[in-house]
Amino acid sequence: MSIAEFSVNRPVTTIMIIVSVVTLGMISYTRLPLMFLPDMSFPSLNVSVPYPSSSPEEVERLITRPLEDAFGTLSNMKSMESNSSDDNARVRIEFETGTDMNMAAMEVRDRIDQVRGELPADVERIRIRRWNPNDMPIYNFSVAWSGDPAEFYNIVTKVIQPRIQRVDGVANVEISGMIDKQLLVHVDSEKLQSHNLDLFNLSQTLTQNNVTMTAGTVTEGGKKYSVRSVNEYRAAEEVANLPIPGTTLSLRDVAEVTFDYPEDNSFQRLNGVDAVTIRVYKTSTANIVDVAQRTQLVLDELQTQPQFADLETRVFFDQSQSIRDRLSDLRNTGLLGGMLAVIVLFLFLRNVRSTLIISLAIPISIICTFTFMYLLRQGAGSTVSINLISLMGLMLAVGMLVDAAVVVLESIYRHRQEGNLPARIAAVVGTREVTMAIIAATATTLCVFMPLVFLGGGSRFMLFMKDFVVTFCIVMVAAVFIALTLIPLVSSRLFNRPLGKPSAFFARMSGLYTSVLAWNLKHRFVTVVSFAAILYGSYWLYQNIEMEFQPMAPTRDIAIAADLPSSYSIEDVKAVFTDVETLLLDRKEDFHIESISSYGSLRRANIRIVLTPPEERQESATQLQTRITSALPEIAGVQWRPGRMRRYGGGQSGVDVELKGDNMAVLSNIAEDIRNRMEVIPGLKDVDTSLERGDEEIQVQVDRAVAQTYGISPRQAARTVQAALSSRARGKFKADDREVDILLQLEEADRASMQKLQNMTFERAEGGMIPVGNLASFTKQKGPDAIERKDRESQVEVGGNTTGPGTRAINTQVTEMMENMELPPGYSWSMGRNWNMMRESQGEFLFAIMLSVVLIYLIMAAISESFIQPFTILLSVLCGLVGAFIVFYLSGTTLNTNSYLGVIVLSGLAVNNAIVLIDHVNHLRREGMTRTEALLLGGRHRLRPILMTSLTTIFGLLPMVAPLFFPEFFGPVEDRGANQWGPVSLALVGGLTTSGILTLILLPTVYTIFEDLSNWVTSSVKRAWA
């Protein structure tokens, strides 16, 4: 008994099965986790070592290089990159695909333990993390308060943070920009010198007298006690009274000890008012939407209380909102696409009953998908979830869900209309006739994803798109199940009454098509040459389509950075940004600004602007960023720079060149030369180097020979300068219910000039004091902002933004420029990460597409029992590529990961029409028709289902494509999700359009050519063997 017979003969059982799956689907939907992106982890580890109040050179020498040496022989290591800044050392280790990352993390931890003794003693913690986008904060907001700072601190740390921390599903709450009181020890240099005291030794005394440690255990009276040495500071007065060894003095005699706010050379504001930023992280199993809503409820509740009436909060990142927007897009796209598909069906079928039958396939298939997604999570350990990528799979599938149902219903309809069969028999016979073709078409659609498995679990495509693949495959299988069960069941009940006559318009269309097809069969040479010309033209288009790794992610944020003169105080910086904030807030409507947050320090500061929703404006974020930047005031020494993500993509399309070598001075000269050359390349803007934004610094160079005569080492001199100037904590102090840092520095007046630093003294080995200036030189030089290294070599980047989408042409120009440059021996260059990722992904996709074609051929050869006929069917893939490249070129869409994904899906869908046509032609020939008769009649029979399936899919995808062409109605493309799923939809719309037309017109001609060629080869072989 076939599945169609079972469905028709056991209607109650069939309905109960479908109702059960649908019910489980609705329940599963509520239990599937909602995430921003799929659960994924790249095969890489990030090691971070905080080391504040240092220089990039010191961090590189003391921390980064020892760690690099330790990690150099890690198992399965692919590459290693490091970044040394003035307060942190970061090392990123990338491993080969398939590496056990838990074991890799253990090995990295062991290597750190091996070199722990070589690192500075005051390194407090070393963090090892795997990057996963779902570990990012789900909810970021700023809190502004114009009242007392101490009261503000208590509100944030004792009210807001604990309340949010108690929200169900919240894992952690981080605060930045909050300043707390600290124990400040400001040393008077004159008093220090008058008493012949050394600042470094004073710092050591302060640290060594503040200690609590376990001393061991002692047994008394048969009972064992643990022993702890407790000598922590308990009051500021205790610190002030600390005796100074070798003297009768206490600390208060040479320093002022206060519990107060430290000097703050940074600022953070929201809409012109001082603010802090709070980031909320969720637990791994929590629902993003629920956690974000609960967090917002807490904030709303707090602001209803009178004591918090002046509290201003502004949410500038909410992952749940992105998910809600995509869910809304899914609903709207699904409804609109489904409505368009239903309208197309009705225009062809002109029968309400038939249209309603097919319409059932869309909602039922989608709901069934949630059932199997949940079962995969629970039974197979899959991490599939409802996220932006899986929702894209569902949205793309909406127009395709009716394809199988259309083929089944049309076959039933034709048997009922032309064969005058009873409804029940027509339902069984019609379904049975196309079952194999439907299964074959679905198999070819799904098999195109199999090659992606060979890209490896670490492939960027598999990491980002695995949920798309799983969701798309499930929903397509569900649609076939509905087509082979529910459609014949409902048809057998609704088609009992006589059907009307076919449309006269469609009859004329069929006649015209038959005439065109007959002409093509008689003029095969002209047909083939014409198609070859079309293929060549589409290949030319492909070569001229721009490329990028990924389309820009939707955003409402723009960032503008400012490089400030070294002469500016923090008050000067705040004054500049106050003027800028006033300017922007006065033009909020013109610039479509929702809120402004600014933050920064002495040399560098940033403005982050949250724009109004994209549907409320016509300008994109990039356009507004350009306009806002040009409107900023011109201030001597201040340079405004539009934000650009130099690493890992995600910002504007960038072009980067990476330089590697040993000597940073040589690299700096090479980088400057390259920057000058890149600035004249049309289409490039904001060209800079990773060294350009370095700070001017005072470098202290100790004369070793002179220092040795005084019994002083360069390290001792450096430590003295560090103790005088550094804001690094000298221990902890318990204040009330919290621990605060102890900071020791010279008074501000003693740090005001280079001369003051040169007069700083320290103790000689044989006694007495000596000024630092007697044995060291002080010079001003521009130091690097950060030192980057790759595979244990110093690295400098030169790069800029492109003025338009895509980077293929400009990258090609830059590559040619670099190939014509002669670099010194030992120095090398390579194109930046984005270009390499783009080329890598292109190679992966081309491999996947070619392997997909091979698999389609294998499936079709097995089904048709022919080695030749599958080549005819595969020609439809080329027909689809023609349309895809045409729409990419005409619309200005770049070739990126999403474009290639659309081409892969297209290669599986394009063959469906060819399978349905060729299978029916073979069926007619088996019934005794000649080849030409079978081709002509088969084309007439399959004209309507091919047009219906193609047009329903195309019209179902139109809501996803429309925003690309009508941004005036839908808002800027780059600020919505349309630029993410648009390339996939465009590939399918363009490809299915040309594939549907060329399949009907060209394929029968090619069918005859391949068959004649096969017969000629067979006869030639037989004659040769005779």
In DSSP terms, 739 is beta-bridged to: 734
Dump the DSSP string for 316-342.
EEEHHHHHHHHHHHHHHHHHHHHHHHH
Q: Tokens in use for 235?
A: 């009051």
562-575: burial string, b at 16+ Cβ within 10 Å, e else: bbbeeebebeebbe
Average pLDDT of the chain to the nearest whole number: 82
The 3-class secondary structure across 760-772, one letter per residue, is CEEECCCCCEEEH
- Structural domain boundaries in the chain: 1-31+350-500, 44-131, 198-253+696-782, 502-552+835-1026, 553-646
Is the pLDDT confidence value at 335 over 80?
Answer: no
Q: What is the pLDDT of residue 766?
A: 66
Q: Judging by DSSP bridges, how do beta strands 88-95 and 557-563 pair with one another?
A: unpaired
Q: What is the pLDDT of residue 54?
A: 76
Q: What is the pLDDT of residue 464?
A: 65
User: Is the sign of the CA dihedral 191, 197, 198, 202 positive or negative?
Assistant: negative
Is the pLDDT confidence value at 772 over 70?
Answer: yes
Is the pLDDT confidence value at 652 over 70?
Answer: no
| The architecture CATH gives domain 502-552+835-1026 | Up-down Bundle (1.20)
User: Is the sign of the CA dihedral 255, 257, 258, 259 positive or negative?
Assistant: positive
Q: What digits encode the pLDDT tens for the residues 240-299? A: 888 888 788 888 888 888 888 887 778 888 888 788 889 999 887 788 888 888 999 998
The three-state secondary structure class of 980 is helix
Q: What is the mean pLDDT of residues 833-862?
A: 80
Say whether 553-646 and 502-552+835-1026 share the same fold.
Answer: no
Residue with tokens 């003969």: 9
Are 543 and 965 in contact by the 8 Å Cβ rule? The answer is: no
- Residue 840's CB: how many other CB atoms inside 10 A? 14
Are 289 and 30 in contact by the 8 Å Cβ rule? The answer is: no
Q: What is the pLDDT of residue 133?
A: 65
Q: What digits encode the pLDDT tens for the residues 486-523? A: 889 988 887 665 555 556 777 788 889 999 999 999 99
Q: What digits encode the pLDDT tens for the residues 380-421? A: 777 888 887 888 788 777 767 778 888 888 888 778 777 678
The 3-class secondary structure across 240-298, one letter per residue, is HCCECCCCCCEHHHCEEEEEECCCCCEEEEECCEEEEEEEEEECCCCCHHHHHHHHHHH
Nearest one of 558, 691, 534 to 623, comparing CA atoms: 558
Q: What is the pLDDT of residue 164?
A: 92
Is the pLDDT confidence value at 801 over 60?
Answer: yes
Q: What is the pLDDT of residue 27?
A: 94
The three-state secondary structure class of 833 is helix
Ramachandran bin of 826, using left for φ above 0, alpha for ψ from -120 to 50, beta for the remaining angles: left
| The architecture CATH gives domain 553-646 | 2-Layer Sandwich (3.30)
Distance from C-alpha of 647 to C-alpha of 656, rounded to nearest angstrom: 10
Q: What is the pLDDT of residue 646?
A: 39
1022 vs 553, more confident: 1022
Tell me which amino acid residue 935 is.
Answer: L
Q: What is the pLDDT of residue 692?
A: 54
154 vs 20, more confident: 20
CATH of 1-31+350-500, one of 1.10.3720.10, 1.20.1640.10, 1.20.1250.20, 3.40.50.620: 1.20.1640.10
Phi, psi of 957, deg, nearest 5: -90, -15
Q: What digits encode the pLDDT tens for the residues 580-601? A: 999 999 999 999 988 888 888 8
Distance from C-alpha of 540 to C-alpha of 523, rounded to nearest angstrom: 27
Q: What digits encode the pLDDT tens for the residues 190-235? A: 888 788 887 777 888 888 887 776 767 777 777 887 777 777 777 7
Is the pLDDT confidence value at 987 over 80?
Answer: yes
CATH of 198-253+696-782, one of 2.40.10.340, 3.30.2090.10, 3.90.1310.10, 1.10.10.10: 3.30.2090.10
CA 13 to each of CA 20, 273, 488: distance values in angstroms, whole numbers, following the listed order: 10, 67, 14
Q: What digits encode the pLDDT tens for the residues 55-109? A: 788 888 899 999 999 998 899 998 899 988 878 899 999 888 778 888 999 999 9
Q: What is the mean pLDDT of residues 540-563?
A: 79
Q: What is the pLDDT of residue 869?
A: 86
Is the pLDDT confidence value at 551 over 80?
Answer: no
* Predicted structure pTM score: 0.73
Q: What is the pLDDT of residue 420?
A: 72
Q: What is the pLDDT of residue 12?
A: 92
422-438: burial string, b at 16+ Cβ within 10 Å, e else: ebbebbbbbbbbbbebb
> Please, what is the angle between helix 423-447 and helix 403-418, to 10°?
150
Length of the chain: 1026
Q: What is the mean pLDDT of residues 734-753?
A: 73
Question: How wide is the angle at C-alpha 640 spanned by C-alphas 638 and 642, nearest 5°?
Answer: 165
| The architecture CATH gives domain 44-131 | 2-Layer Sandwich (3.30)
Is the pLDDT confidence value at 20 over 90?
Answer: yes
Distance from C-alpha of 7 to C-alpha of 424, rounded to nearest angstrom: 11
> Which DSSP state fits 309?
T
Give 3-state DSSP helix, strand, coil % of the chain, rounded to 5: 55, 20, 25
Tell me which amino acid residue 782 is.
Answer: K
Task: Place 651 in a pLDDT band, splitting at 50, 70 and 90.
Answer: very low
Distance from C-alpha of 660 to C-alpha of 671, rounded to nearest angstrom: 10
722 vs 934, more confident: 934
Q: What is the mean pLDDT of residues 3-26?
A: 91
Q: What is the mean pLDDT of residues 673-677?
A: 89
